Structure formats: structure tokens, C-alpha cells
Amino acid sequence: MTEIQIDSVLLPPEPSDQLWGCSIQVPLIGSGDVGFWIHVGGYVSGRWRPAAAVEFVEADNVVRVAAVRISRPDVALSRPGEREVEFCGFYTLVDARKLSAEFDLRLAAILEDGSRVPMGSIRGRHRYHVAATEQSPQGPSPPPERASADGNHDEPPIPSIKDDLKRLLADVETSLSEVESSLLDRLVLAGKSVLDLGAGTGERARAARARGAALVDGIEPDPERVALARLLSAYHDSSRVFFHQARELLEGPGREEYDVVLAVNGFDLVRDHLDAIAAIARGVLVTELPAADPDRAAALEAARAGFPFHELLELSSGLTASEQRGSRTFLVGAADEATLRSALLGRDGVTATQ
């Protein structure tokens, strides 16, 4: 046999009342794949709630979760007026080494409320699975069947990793700072696309989504933080929040545009990338300025080239003057006055200069 052999791709025999439709495409049916990967794409459109991800389960193990976020204008044209139907596509790579030698890979749509809807399955064979034969000369043991109260054998449920995530993340989760929370409250985020540079473990990105952002991309150079950010978003059921390592969304063709670009961890993060940010920011750049001159003056001068209109927000934690500490100044910059004003909420009680 070839390295990876796909025997069939099956959709449910009866359409689900929770989905408008779905598809599964495996482009290399019946042929050898390159390396260890099975390429899987398609779309899923929720009827009452949008689909946030597609879960891949084999032998009761979750082997892959793919975000539903790829634009599918072909599906949108066939279903005008449906909620969030345009971004219903998915694409991912499944590592064959994580599958049984003869596998039945089940796919389920994860809707925004956390419910799962079966989408179909991919069945096939490969030559990469060796762990089972190493453990036992008789090969892998079949999973035990589960009997219901009436004695019938039921299909094993798709497992949940919620409890495992809770234990894993107990020591790493942090909350958004009071100042950054106040900053997000000053921005118009509802329905906007947001890019968060220096996303860390994702608290700011999830807070932006909780304030109504339509989609949030987070960029973080540390791969361990990216992994934690994704786990935290899964644990908190945060949909349409995605994390990427390094600056991949700022470089190369096909990059996206954003209504709000957040660079809250300091101006040094964006100083050398202002031209690239200006090219993808159809709305505003929000960044923290240095605490004092001459660094602040130099930062303002550099930002004006791409964002000539700006407002400064000086925010502190604490409610009273005696409680206030850690004052921080943020620049909200835009290409024109109208864009700037439409991006800001009420300014009462906040020092602002122009």
C-alpha cells in the first residue's frame, strides 16, 4: 500500500437540524501523501449558531481541532442572509502517526455554545503507526464497549478535555490588568476585526472578543505562550479568537486588514513595523507611548507618518487620586479624523490631548 491510503469520506446519511450544510474534502484520496500529513478541508455552516471549530476524533482521542474561519464566498452566495456564513471554511493537517493503522477519523462541528454536531468521517490506512505493535505482539486491543442501562451498546461519546485543561492551566492563567481593561472600554470594538500584537497568553484578545469584536488575531513570538493562549481560549469557549507565532500576518501576500491594531505592550514593539501596520490597519493603531520625553516625542513623530491623526489616553488604576498608580499613556492613531472619532467611545474623566 501507499504511505497513506484514504478509502472513503462519508457524510451523515441524514442532515442535522443544527447545520445548514457541511462538506469534507481530502484531496489525496487513494494516493500517497507527502510526509505524515493528511490534508483536510471543507466548510460547516450552523443553522442557529455559527460553528467555531471542527474536532477530529479517532479511537476516542481528540487528535486535531481546526478553526472555522476561512472565507467561503461560494457558500455565502448560495445562502444569502445567513449569519456569519462567509467565514465557514476550515483547513488543517492531521498527523497520521497519531492514528490507528486502520483508522476511522470522525469529524464534529463545535458550535459557539460548545455543542458538537457530527459531520462525517474519513476512513483509511497508513504505515506510520508503530506504537501499538511495540507494546503488544498481538497488536492493539479494541476499545471497550459501553453499555447503556437497557443493555444496548452505545456509540462512545466524544471526550471532553475541559477538566484536563483546567488542571493544566491552573498555575498560568492571568487576568487583564485594570488599565488595559479601561483602554478596551474606550474603543469601539463591536463588529470589528482586531489584531493584537504581543498577545501573550491571550487575555487581551479574549477581552476584545468579549466586547463584541467579530474576529481577533493574536501575534506572539513565544511558541509556548501561543500554545497556552490556544488552550485558554478552548477552556473559556472563546470563539473566533486565533493565535499565531511571530509576525506572520504582517508579512507576505494575502495579509488581512484590521479595524483595530493593538500594540499595548509598548511602542518598541511596533517602531520598526509602522509601514507594515499602516498597510493593514483600515482603522486605528493603539499603542503605549514611552513614559517621558524625549522618547515620547520621538515615538509621536514616528507614528505621525502613518497615523497623522491621534488622541492620547492617559489611564491609571484605582478610583481616587490616592489609589491611582501606574499611569500609562496610549496613542490611538488613524489616517483621518473621521476614522479616529468613530473608533473612540466617551472621553469623560480621561485626559486626552491632540
pLDDT at 320: 47
Beta pairing class for 146-147 and 153-154: antiparallel
pLDDT at 145: 42
Three-class SS state of 270: coil
* Percentage with pLDDT > 70 across the chain: 74
Average pLDDT over residues 258-267: 91
Least confidently predicted of 109-123, 210-224, 292-306, 338-352: 338-352
Least confidently predicted of 71-75, 317-321, 325-329: 317-321
Residue 142: pLDDT over 60:
no
Average pLDDT over residues 317-339: 76
Average pLDDT over residues 108-129: 85
Three-class SS state of 28: coil
Residue 86: pLDDT over 50:
yes
Task: Give the whole-angstrom CA distance, residue 218 versus residue 244.
Answer: 6
The overall pTM is greater than 0.95: no
11-26 tens-digit pLDDT: 988 878 888 889 999 8
The strands making up 89-95's β-sheet, listed across from edge to edge, are 19-25, 37-46, 89-95
Backbone angles phi, psi at 62, to 5 degrees: -75, 115
Residue 1: pLDDT over 90:
no
Question: CA torsion angle for 238, 241, 242, 243 (degrees, to 10)?
Answer: -80
Residues 6+ apart with CB under 8 A from 94: 37, 38, 40, 56, 63, 64, 105
Nearest to 234 by CA among 42, 62, 49: 62
Residue 295: pLDDT over 50:
yes
Average pLDDT over residues 146-174: 49
Residue 286: pLDDT over 50:
yes
Query: Is there a contact between 229 and 243 (Cβ–Cβ < 8 Å)?
Result: yes
